[in-house]
Amino acid sequence: MKAIVKYAACIVLAFAGSASAADINGQWARGDGNAKVKIAPCGSDICATNTWIKPGTPKEKTGDRLVMSIKPTSDGEYSGTAFDPQRDLTYKLTVSVKGDTMTTKGCVLAGIVCKGVDWSRIQ
């Protein structure tokens, strides 16, 4: 279960250096250096797609996608759910974007198990 929560929180989310504080779209690098994602609109939702995974990282691969149904709650803050089609799981998700940094928090099991991940905007 811990790996699933880590995956959900980690795949979550990407941008360009000149984007506004609340702009979630773009390219992001995960704080642990093990993944990069691109975040972009996909239909009425937002998708985070793995563009690079460090070799040997278990349970993640390039091309995996997280479909986020999130809405802004304040400047740079988003809340909603994320669906992981690779694992057929839905997570409660919060995202905080401040300039070139982002923090994601994914929860499962009615919010009992949560994991937060820091991200940095890349070009």
- pLDDT tens-digit profile of 44-70? 999 999 999 999 888 889 999 999 999
Q: Are 111 and 91 in contact (CB under 8 A)?
A: no
Question: For the whole model, what pTM was predicted?
Answer: 0.78
Q: For residue 9, what are its two tokens?
A: 């929180």
Q: Which of 113, 95, 120 is nearest to 105 (CA)?
A: 95
Cα 72 to the center of its chain, rounded Å: 15
Q: What CA–CA distance (Å, rounded) separates 52 from 44?
A: 25
Write down the mean pLDDT value for the chain.
83
Q: Among 16-25, 28-37, 73-82, name the one with the lowest average pLDDT.
A: 16-25
